[in-house]
């Protein structure tokens, strides 16, 4: 049996018709918050990401399973039900589940679910309190509405890659994508925020709502300071390597035995930074005393910092700068992140029981509640693991189960 749910959404049921990353990221957030998330997967195939490997989780004998690392990263805390939505039986099952669910999340191409009578308008006729969130590449309106999209292409189309990567003229210059599927992740985050807002409004009105989330909209929205830099100046932002476009000194610098990130955020920190590096007079100079002056005179400043940091080891500079409250850090590998004492203390890595491997590692939610404690007891489900259990819970019974199986 599924473990009792805790968390602030333990009273909420989510019908998850999404797959790949953006939708499952959103529904995993809801599951972490305690919601009962029922993941509907294609009969015999499941979520596309189940096959997006290697790597795959190994079973207790050391053999690869069909559970890819990609799939395992976004499906914790859910229950898997296999359905064929192209059949009457599958469609009827979704309607039965939607009738008493609070939220539906889907990321089919625009108009696909309308053909099956599973669109927002259809399902809300049987459940007016239903909150229905559609996630697509380009939204339900506009000239691109029917086109498919993936994170990589939206990073390119939405301008992110134009400001990511080494600047022209430098070694390795050229546009770069972010090292994680950031558009998918941010789309899932925006979807979750919108869903929770609709849930709060439903408490006041008694009615659900329909939410339209587009990946390109999200990417455009989180251009943030780079968008505003252009809109207020008229100048096109460019790739600038690791240099911050607005605040200096913020960059990667080479030490004697490695690299350090310096993230000076204000004039007081710059004064302390100069004292540690022995840059007497720089913090008082009109060319460097203020952030606007440092941005304008960055080539001279950058060269001097580079020269001084190169005289000693990374550990020396981390200790000396940290002691003075100057933000800095090493560039950790992924294994080093999970060895960091702060990450260990916060409990971000958990091993939870898994039916094939004994345990499965999970990077848990960063959200912490004093009263509504989050629990992480339910691993990403096997394909169809909960089909019979869920159908019985929702009153579909053995007959419906047999029809669907047939």
Structure tokens at 311: 């005289």
CA distance 161 to 105: 28
Dihedral angle sign, alpha carbons of residues 392, 397, 402, 404: negative
C-alpha count within 13 angstroms, C-beta hemisphere, residue 110: 17
CA distance 298 to 70: 41
The answer to whether the CB of 304 falls within 8 A of the CB of 248 is: no
Instruction: Determine how β-strand 259-263 pairs with β-strand 328-330.
Output: antiparallel
CA distance 200 to 49: 32
CA distance 192 to 204: 19
CA distance 9 to 46: 26
Q: Alpha-carbon dihedral of residues 79, 85, 87, 93, nearest 10 degrees?
A: 40
Active-site residue set: 184
CB neighbourhood size of 340 (10 A): 14
CA distance 388 to 85: 17
Q: Alpha-carbon dihedral of residues 9, 13, 15, 16, nearest 10 degrees?
A: 20
CA distance 52 to 67: 9
The DSSP element (H or E) to which 337 belongs, if any, is helix 334-339
Structure tokens at 187: 């789309």
CA distance 135 to 360: 29
The answer to whether the CB of 9 falls within 8 A of the CB of 195 is: no
Q: What is the phi-psi region of residue 69: left when phi exceeds 0, alpha when psi lies from -120 to 50, beta otherwise? A: alpha
Q: What would the DSSP string read from start to end of 151-202?
A: HHHHHHHTTGGGGSSBPTTSTTBS----SS-HHHHHHHHHHHHHHHHHHHHH
| Phi, psi (rounded to 5 degrees) for 224 | 50, -125
């Amino acid at each position: 049996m599924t473990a009792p749910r805790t968390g602030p959404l333990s009273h909420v049921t989510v019908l998850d018709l999404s797959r790949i990353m953006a939708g499952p990221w959103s529904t995993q957030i809801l599951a972490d918050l305690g919601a009962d998330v029922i993941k509907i997967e294609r009969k015999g195939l499941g979520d596309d990401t189940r096959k997006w490997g290697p790597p795959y989780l190994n079973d207790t004998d050391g053999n690869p399973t069909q559970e890819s690392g990609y799939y395992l990263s976004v499906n914790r805390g859910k229950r898997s039900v296999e359905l064929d939505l192209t059949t009457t039986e599958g469609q009827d099952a979704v309607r039965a589940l939607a009738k008493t669910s609070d939220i539906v999340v889907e990321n089919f191409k625009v108009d696909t679910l309308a053909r099956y009578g599973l669109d927002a308008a259809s399902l809300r006729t049987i459940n007016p309190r239903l909150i229905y969130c559609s996630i697509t590449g380009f939204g339900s309106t506009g000239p691109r509405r029917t086109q498919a999209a993936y994170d990589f292409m939206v990073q390119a189309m939405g301008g992110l890659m134009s400001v990511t990567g080494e600047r022209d003229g430098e070694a390795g210059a050229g546009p770069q994508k972010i090292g994680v599927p950031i558009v998918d992740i941010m789309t899932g985050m925006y979807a979750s925020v919108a869903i929770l807002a609709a849930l709060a409004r439903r408490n006041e009105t008694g009615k659900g709502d329909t939410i339209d989330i587009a990946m390109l909209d999200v990417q455009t929205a989180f251009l943030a300071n780079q968008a505003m830099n252009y809109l207020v100046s008229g100048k096109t932002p460019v790739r600038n390597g690791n240099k911050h476009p607005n605040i200096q000194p913020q960059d990667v610098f080479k030490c004697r035995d490695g690299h350090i990130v310096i993230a000076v955020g204000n004039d007081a920190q710059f004064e302390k930074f100069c004292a540690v590096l022995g840059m007497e007079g720089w913090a008082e100079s009109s060319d460097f005393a203020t952030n606007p002056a440092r941005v304008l005179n960055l080539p001279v400043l950058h060269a001097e910092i580079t020269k001084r940091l190169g005289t000693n080891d990374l550990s020396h500079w981390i200790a000396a700068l940290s002691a003075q409250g100057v933000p800095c850090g090493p560039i950790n590998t992924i294994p080093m992140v999970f060895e960091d004492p702060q990450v260990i203390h916060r409990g971000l890595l958990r091993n939870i029981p898994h039916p094939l491997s004994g345990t499965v590692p999970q990077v848990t939610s960063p959200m912490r509640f004093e009263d509504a404690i989050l629990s992480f007891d339910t691993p990403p489900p096997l394909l169809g693991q909960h089909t019979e259990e869920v159908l019985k819970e929702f009153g579909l019974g053995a007959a419906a189960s047999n029809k669907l199986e047939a």
